[in-house]
Structure 1
Amino acid sequence: MTWFVIGYYTVLLAASCLAAYFNKRSLFLLLFSLTLVSFVLGIVGGTGALKFVAISAGVLALAGMVAYGFREFLIVLASDDLAKELRTAPMTAAFGMFVIFTYAVMGIFAPLIAPHGEAEIIASAFAPADENMLLGADQLGRDMFSRIVYGTRNSVGLALTATLMAFILGALAGLLAATKGGWFDQFMGRLADVIMSIPSLIFALLMLSIFGPHVHVIIIAVAIIYAPRVFRLTRAVAGNIVVMDYIEAAKLRGEGTWYLIRKEILPNSMAPLIAEFGLEFCFVFLLVAGLSFLGLGIQPPTADWGSMVRENATLISFGDITPLIPAAAIALLTVAVNFVVDWMLWRSAGLKET
């Protein structure tokens, strides 16, 4: 038994006893459960398993502290009403907002953050990391860190643009269908059903094979795929609003369709629509990354996370985890957006803490 093992169990048991003494029931259950799990893992995996648990717990604790600090920072900067809402945000949502903020800074200031150009060859193929390359070089000798930074702008920017286009088309069609009703509502509903019946990946591959893997083709294809999903949600939400008394009163005043949409329906539909936007962004982002991995997304030499995984996949055979870094960047952003969306859905459902 090493000093690390002795110290590891001593810290866990001491923290568990302190939590029990101060009547922190949830914290005590967490710490003592971790102690029991560590005991089993220590028998099976030895010191290495305990070090992995300790590192994982440290990373989670660091993420929690970052999330708490970022939430308090936003509360200080926000107005009173927004600060009141932010205080109800769980640590997962705060962590998600911090990740989104970090990605936004990386994308906007990519030329200032990246030490090299996204297509600049500065070393030999698969050169290891050194003082000039934090993550080493790719298959052509380009700096992996710089390409990941530029990939934030390209991958996230393309997914965000496609999501905006899909959301505008779907939300506008849904609002018009709910307001007008009749044959227009029926026609749009059947059209959405037809598009949704086609597998999204097959439809995207077909469009890109016919028109070529250009950025505008990707945006249009993705918008066509996901606009019906937005349409159906918008139609359902707006359909519950158009039957309200204040909508009937506005119609009796002689208000037109666009007035009803802009002043009456849309403001009362914003909460679920914003949450839906976050979910749609995750779906679009993963689809764009998948297309790039297949070679039909953003074309080289433009940096893109999906294509970076494919181009450097051979390194995994040699025990190098570098190709997993852009994959982890994709997963981290998707999880972060879902954290924020879960909180927004909780708020839009009218749930309040007691």
Structure 2
Amino acid sequence: MSAITTAAPRPRALRRIAPGLLLVLLALIGPLLAAHPIDTPITAPYAPPGDGAPLGGDQLGRDVLSRLLDGGTALIGSALIVAVVITLLATLLGCFAVLRPTLGHAVERTADVVILLPPILGIMLLALAWPGGGRVAVIIAAIVLGTPYAVRIVASAAAPLTRAGYIEAATARGEKLWYLALRELLPNLRATVLALFGLRFVEAVYVISMAGFLQIGPQPPAADWALMIRENAPGILLNPWAVVAPGLAIAALAVSVNLASASLTPRFARKAVTVS
């Protein structure tokens, strides 16, 4: 009975995972599919869709479709770095925190302080103070601000496990802290870690996009989806696709990855993580 129950949802899960995988793959190979150089004008400014430019031109007459195909790679790469680093740090620190009350208390107090700071304001402060600014500063700021709360999520999921018999037995054997965290706790947190990674990726997409819209991260003439929205907003009535297309791309990426993560995550873990 258990084998049938586990196998039944697979087709539905695959249908939810496929759009996210296809969109990520399209964004990664997009620069190879671009028909025109991203920095070369081929039409009049804000030209409507026509021959050679299916989505028209932007504020400088550059091909919107070519820039759209090129602009997702950096965004996905940045969001992936943020999600991976936060998930790794949160998993390690969260496991150590529940095994060492002193560290757990420090993590909780740090998370309380960080939660009070709006993410965009915190990223603006850190990115503007970072020498040279740019995308690297936004990535580091997103990691610094996102890790404490993620640690609390992992710690809350791991706390009940510390009272399990196998943890008490390992502690009685005199096992070291790293053994308890990595060999005893971590294997039982796979669902929580997977859900955390998916949601951190989606949050990173939104945060990095907002930073790009505010021109904190990538700078012109970079082909970035959020930057395209900012640059072409004044001409939205002349060529709406210059703004609508990158906006839809960001939304589709976030929604499809969120659905894929939810499909791969057991319901109990999903409820534990979505409170973030």
Could you state the TM-score of these two structures normalised by the residue count of structure 1?
0.69
Partner of residue 186 from structure 1, selected from 105, 109, 123: 105
Answer yes or no: is 1:147 the counterpart of 2:80.
Answer: no
Counterpart amino acid of 2:107? M
Counterpart amino acid of 1:187? A
Q: How many residues align?
A: 268
Distance 2:5 2:31 in 1: 37
Give the conservation status (yes or no) of the 8 Å contact 1:89–1:343.
no
Counterpart amino acid of 1:118? I
Match of 1:88 in 2: 9
Distance 1:83 1:300 in 2: 54
Answer yes or no: is 1:170 the counterpart of 2:70.
Answer: no
- SS for the counterpart of 1:265 is helix
Distance 1:82 1:121 in 2: 58
Give the conservation status (yes or no) of the 8 Å contact 1:103–1:152.
no
| CA pair 167-83 structure 1, distance change in 2 beyond 3 A | farther
Match of 2:173 in 1: 253
After superposing the two structures, state which structure 1 stretch, 210-219 or 290-299, moved more: 210-219
Give the conservation status (yes or no) of the 8 Å contact 2:76–2:205.
yes
Answer yes or no: is 1:313 the counterpart of 2:246.
Answer: no
Answer yes or no: is 1:233 the counterpart of 2:153.
Answer: yes
Unaligned runs of 5+ in 2: 271-276
Q: Which has the higher contact order (CA 8 A, sep 6+)?
A: 2
Distance 1:112 1:319 in 2: 25
Distance 1:322 1:197 in 2: 36
Shift of 1:84: 7.9
Answer yes or no: is 1:334 the counterpart of 2:254.
Answer: yes
- SS for the counterpart of 2:68 is helix
Distance 2:3 2:125 in 1: 45
Distance 1:85 1:146 in 2: 43
Match of 2:274 in 1: none
Q: Which has more radius of gyration?
A: 1
After superposing the two structures, state which structure 1 stretch, 121-130 or 287-296, moved more: 121-130
Distance 1:317 1:128 in 2: 10
Partner of residue 31 from structure 2, selected from 101, 111, 116: 111
Q: CA RMSD in A?
A: 2.5
Give the conservation status (yes or no) of the 8 Å contact 1:107–1:152.
yes
| CA pair 349-220 structure 1, distance change in 2 beyond 3 A | closer
Match of 2:129 in 1: 210
Counterpart amino acid of 1:119? D
Give the conservation status (yes or no) of the 8 Å contact 2:55–2:241.
no
Partner of residue 224 from structure 2, selected from 276, 295, 304: 304
Unaligned runs of 5+ in 1: 1-80
Match of 1:7 in 2: none
Match of 1:200 in 2: 119
Match of 2:207 in 1: 287
Counterpart amino acid of 1:331? A
Identity of aligned residues (%): 32
Shift of 1:319: 6.5
Could you state the TM-score of these two structures normalised by the residue count of structure 2?
0.87
